[in-house]
Amino acid sequence: MTKVAILGASGRMGRTLIGLIAAADDLELVGASTRADSAAAGSDAGLIAGCGALDVTLTASVEDALIDADVGIDFTLPAALSSNLAAAGARGCPLVIGTTGVDADGLRAIDATARTLPLVFAANYSSGVTLLQRLVRTAAAALDSDYDVEILESHHRGKRDAPSGTARALGQSVAAGRGVDLASNAVYAREGMTGERPVGAIGFQALRGGDIVGEHTVMLAGDGERLELTHRASSRETFARGALRAARWVIAQPPGRFDMDDVLGLRA
């Protein structure tokens, strides 16, 4: 039985993960954390997830949440990442990181912690999106800069970062396929008299509204034809199941930073 702690347990993904853990035969929820100012603090994790009492209380202390865990799953905000990594390091607890909008400092903190702990960090835990990234890299390599690339993503009204981490990862796939630097070629939205589209630009557009779980399309538009590669998620369980798959996998790994290619056995 793998003992799991959820960081960010009162959020959308946290609640979904708790429900799936409660229904799994090989997983046990042993810890759950939330912000100190959350209305859910002190509540039973199962009750806030709608799956019945689990005798696990939501705590503001990440270290307390991790104390009995074999693995932690972090779906909090970027501001909490550094302290969450420190708590995981102090407890010697492997971590699956689902936080999006991580900046350069956050990436450095992940890499530093990965010297002593196995960590899985992915922009998206969907198996379909993992495969989409590979398809996009292949398409970008095969279709040169005569094909203009635009990445369109749509999410629910509550999403805080834009473009999404998945859209940025798809942009990295395009850049890797073409052997270019994403930062030098990315164009984030447009307004006004922008002039002609630069050759080789990798465009991003972000839409927000309603309860859209997540949709991503990479368009490669040439003269006379257009290729579109699309992934649509209809349930957060898609991402939660992937994160749980990563949690089961990472506990048997040595220290290091891994992603879903590793978890799915796709690493070349």
- Judged against a pLDDT cut of 90, whether residue 100 lies above it is answered with no
| pLDDT value for 145 | 92
pTM: 0.83
| Separation between Cα atoms, residue 191 and residue 198, nearest integer Å | 15
pLDDT tens digits, one per residue of 202-233: 999 999 999 999 999 999 999 999 999 999 99
- Where does the pLDDT of residue 234 fall: very low under 50, low under 70, confident under 90, or very high at 90 and above? very high
- 8-state DSSP, 60: S
Residue 168 Cα distances to 78, 153, 227, angstroms: 16, 10, 19
- Judged against a pLDDT cut of 90, whether residue 154 lies above it is answered with yes
Residue 173, classified by CB atoms within 10 Å of its CB into exposed (0-12), middle (13-18) or buried (19+), is buried
> Is 3 part of the annotated catalytic residue set?
no
| Mean pLDDT value across residues 8-34 | 96
- Judged against a pLDDT cut of 90, whether residue 58 lies above it is answered with yes
118: β partners: 256
Residue recorded with tokens 């996998």:
249
| Mean pLDDT value across residues 91-117 | 94
CA atoms within 13 A on the CB side of 107: 8
- 8-state DSSP, 198: P
| pLDDT value for 268 | 63
Q: Which of 3, 159, 216, 231 is catalytic?
A: 159
> Is 155 part of the annotated catalytic residue set?
yes
Percent of the chain whose predicted confidence (pLDDT) is above 70: 100
| Separation between Cα atoms, residue 4 and residue 208, nearest integer Å | 32
Closest among 120, 128, 69 to 246, alpha carbons compared: 120
Residue 264, classified by CB atoms within 10 Å of its CB into exposed (0-12), middle (13-18) or buried (19+), is middle
- Where does the pLDDT of residue 174 fall: very low under 50, low under 70, confident under 90, or very high at 90 and above? very high
Closest among 164, 129, 148 to 227, alpha carbons compared: 148
Q: Which of 155, 156, 216, 231 is catalytic?
A: 155
| pLDDT value for 267 | 77
Q: Contact 141/256 with Cβ under 8 angstroms?
A: no
Q: What is the DSSP string of 204-243?
A: EEEEE-TT--EEEEEEEEETTEEEEEEEEES-THHHHHHH
Domains and CATH numbers, the chain: 2-121+236-263 (3.40.50.720), 127-233 (3.30.360.10)
